[in-house]
C-alpha cells in the first residue's frame, strides 16, 4: 500500500481499533513501550517504517532520510537509552523538509520548544537536554532494521501512532487490518450512540443471557459471546 493510500485508509482509525483487528486476524500485536508518547495532543501518525539505529552521530539519520520516500516515518533506535537525547530540532526539520510523516524515537529527544514550532508528529520516551557524548562503531545493518522495545521492525512494516501509543503492522496486511478495524470502530460507535440514548452496554451485550450460558456451558467466554451476537467491547 502506497503512502498516500495508507494515510487515507488509516485517517479515522485509532491504535485500539487496529490492535483489536490484529488480534482478531491472528497478527502479533507489536506495540512500542508504554512510555512512548507524542509531544502534543491529537497526534495521529501513519507511514512506512524507515529505520535508523543511532550510534552517537546524526549522520545515520541523514542517510536514512536520503533513502526514504515521502510519507515514511523515521523510526530511531537508540536502545531506549536515558542518558542522552538523540533527536533535536535540526534533524526534525530535515525530516519535515523531506516530507516524511514523522519520527518515532526509542530513546529521548531535546529542543522541545523548537520541535513544537516545527509541529512534525513525534513520539518519544521523554526529553533530556544533553546530546550524545559517545561515538560508537555503526553496524552494517543500521539502516535495515530498528528495535523499539522488544520488537524489531523494518521497511516491510508501517507505523500507526496516536495518544494511546504506537503500533507496528506488516505492510502487506494493511488493507485487511484496516477493513476489520473499521468494522470494529463502526460497531463501537453504534453501541456508544445507543448507550447515550439509554440502552446500557449490559443490555446490548445481552449480559444476563451470557451469564446463564456460561453457567450452563462453563467454557463460554465473553469474547465468544460478543462475536456470536455481533457486539464489541474487547477483541
On whether 226 is known to bind a ligand per the annotation, the reply is no
Is residue 126 within 8 Å of residue 105, measured between CB atoms?
A: no
On whether 111 is known to bind a ligand per the annotation, the reply is yes
C-alpha cell at 202: 449490559
On whether 88 is known to bind a ligand per the annotation, the reply is yes
Is residue 112 within 8 Å of residue 127, measured between CB atoms?
A: yes
**3-state class of 112 per DSSP?**
helix
Strands 45-53 and 73-77: parallel
C-alpha cell at 31: 506495540
Is residue 67 within 8 Å of residue 43, measured between CB atoms?
A: no
On whether 91 is known to bind a ligand per the annotation, the reply is yes
Q: Which residues pair with 55 in a beta bridge?
A: none
On whether 12 is known to bind a ligand per the annotation, the reply is no
Q: Which is nearest to 113 in space by CA: 101, 129, 125, 98?
A: 129
Distance (Å) of CA 5 to CA 66, 109, 183, 193: 22, 30, 18, 29
**3-state class of 72 per DSSP?**
coil
Q: What is the DSSP letter of 144?
A: T
C-alpha cell at 66: 536520503
On whether 90 is known to bind a ligand per the annotation, the reply is yes
Which residues are documented as binding site?
88-91, 110-111
Which residues are documented as binding site for substrate?
88-91, 110
Which residues are documented as binding site for Mg(2+)?
111
Amino acid at each position: 500500500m502506497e503512502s498516500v493510500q495508507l494515510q487515507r485508509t488509516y485517517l479515522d482509525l485509532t491504535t485500539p481499533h487496529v490492535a483489536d483487528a490484529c488480534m482478531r486476524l491472528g497478527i502479533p500485536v507489536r506495540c512500542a513501550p508504554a512510555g512512548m508518547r507524542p509531544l502534543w495532543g491529537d497526534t495521529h501518525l501513519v507511514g512506512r517504517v524507515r529505520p535508523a539505529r543511532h550510534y552517537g552521530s546524526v549522520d545515520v539519520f541523514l542517510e536514512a532520510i536520503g533513502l526514504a520516500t515521502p510519507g515514511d516515518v523515521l523510526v530511531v533506535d537508540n536502545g531506549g537509552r536515558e542518558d542522552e537525547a538523540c533527536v533535536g530540532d535540526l534533524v526534525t526539520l530535515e525530516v519535515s523538509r523531506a516530507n516524511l510523516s514523522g519520527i518515532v524515537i526509542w530513546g529521548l529527544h531535546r529542543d522541545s520548544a523548537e520541535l513544537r514550532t516545527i509541529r512534525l508528529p513525534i513520539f518519544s520516551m521523554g526529553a533530556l537536554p544533553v546530546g550524545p557524548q559517545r561515538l560508537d562503531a555503526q553496524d552494517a545493518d543500521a539502516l535495515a532494521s530498528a528495535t523499539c522495545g522488544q520488537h524489531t521492525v523494518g521497511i516491510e512494516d508501517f507505523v500507526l501512532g496516536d495518544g494511546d501509543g504506537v503500533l507496528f503492522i506488516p505492510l502487506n496486511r494493511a488493507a485487511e487490518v484496516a477493513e476489520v478495524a473499521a468494522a470494529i470502530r463502526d460497531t463501537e460507535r453504534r453501541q456508544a450512540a445507543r448507550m447515550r440514548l439509554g440502552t446500557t452496554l449490559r443490555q446490548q451485550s445481552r449480559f444476563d443471557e451470557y451469564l446463564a450460558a456460561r453457567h450452563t456451558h462453563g467454557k463460554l467466554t465473553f469474547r465468544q459471546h460478543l462475536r456470536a451476537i455481533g457486539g464489541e467491547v474487547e477483541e
